[in-house]
Amino acid sequence: MTDPKNPWLRFGALSAAAVLALTACGNGDEDDDNGADDDNGADVTDDNGADDDTDDDDDDADADAAGDELTIALFGEEPYSWIDEETGEPTGATIAVAEEIFGERMGYDIDIVEEPEWGNLIPGLGAGHWDVVSAGMSINEERCAEAAFGEPELVYTTAFLVEEGNPAGVQTFEDLDGADLDIIALSGAVESGWMDELGIEHDTVDNAQDGIDFVDGGAADVFALTAVSLEAMAGEIEGLEVTESFEHELSVGAHAFRLDDEDLVEEFNEHLAELQDSGEYLDLVSEFGFTEDEMPPSGLTAQELCEEDPEELAEEYLED
């Protein structure tokens, strides 16, 4: 479906079955003719009559991507990335960053699609259905085996969605251990993985809204998710409460790429560093509720999050 206001921007909802049926999208690797003449078809010459070298190393590198299409998958979870119900357009903190870097700075035409099941995001990368996942996905060793990650962007804390008044008094995962409660987490999310490690019995759902609906409808007692998401999506629902956030492990989100797209990741990271160093990154994401508190610790890298022990990283980077 093409947006009449932005003909270069398209999005679509992909069910799990549709993901399997899709053919691979273009990966933005098509080469432009960097040695082309100017717009009028004539060689550009300087005062000495020499041809202007359009392949000069000082030319704008962003021109390399001009006209190429990059497919980006989002996941419907506020405030990271979702489809706005009123406008029908993609929005969110990670989408704002993706549009700025891939569109404005790197020169890609961006094709944005919605994948409604979290567990399909990384498999969709590997299958070539999209080039980038823009969903605030946390970096961990398991995911790093299947996807490449850009440098850290946002630090997350966890919270629980419970009945108003929090009758069971749950505040951390340890409070759930052995509790006679029906617990829900997002399938494939770090919260589910942490509870598996702790031996906490729980069920999973494919999307965040289902988890909220389970608690709201009384089918579950607890839904574990990132605190900022629960506040954005369920903080105002009558009869429900979002518990105080807590840090179980160092959880840091970033954009995800295919494993073999090293050049794309490298160029993205260069622009990301520029945005973060200038303060423009915080300006982009603050519109969606993120603050300085959610910015990653100085010096933390995606490689560390992929390769090093989470407990040791937490001790090194998390404040007491």
> What dihedral do alpha carbons 72, 77, 79, 85 form, nearest 10°?
90
97 contacts 281 by C-beta, under 8 angstroms: yes
171 contacts 270 by C-beta, under 8 angstroms: no
Query: CB-hemisphere CA count at 13 Å for 55?
Result: 5
CA 29 to CA 68: how far, in whole Å?
A: 7
Extract the residue ranges of the chain whose pLDDT is less than 70.
1-67, 319-320
pLDDT at residue 146 in the model: 97
275 phi and psi angles, rounded to 5 deg: -65, -45
CATH number of 157-249: 3.40.190.10
Residue whose token pair is 């520029």: 274
Task: Give the list of residues 6+ apart from residue 42 with CB closer than 8 angstroms, or none.
Answer: none
Ordered alpha helix ranges (H), the chain: 16-21, 93-98, 121-126, 141-144, 173-176, 190-198, 208-216, 227-234, 262-278, 280-286, 302-307, 310-317
What is the DSSP annotation of 64-131? GGTT-EEEEEE-SBTTTBEE-TTT--EESHHHHHHIIIIIIIT-PEEEEEE-S-GGGHHHHHHTTS-S
Burial of 131 (0-12, 13-18, 19+ CB in 10 A): buried
List the chain domain ranges: 16-154+252-317, 157-249
pTM: 0.76
pLDDT at residue 7 in the model: 34
> What dihedral do alpha carbons 176, 179, 180, 184 form, nearest 10°?
10
CA 98 to CA 259: how far, in whole Å?
A: 18
281 contacts 269 by C-beta, under 8 angstroms: no
Do the first three CATH levels of 16-154+252-317 and 157-249 match, i.e. the same topology?
A: yes
Please give the CATH architecture assigned to the domain spanning 16-154+252-317.
3-Layer(aba) Sandwich (3.40)
Q: What is the pLDDT of residues 123-163, one digit of tens each?
A: 999 999 999 999 999 999 999 999 999 999 999 999 999 99
CA 98 to CA 36: how far, in whole Å?
A: 28
3-state secondary structure of 229: helix
User: Crossing angle for the helix pair 227-234 and 208-216, nearest 10 degrees?
Assistant: 60
pLDDT at residue 46 in the model: 40
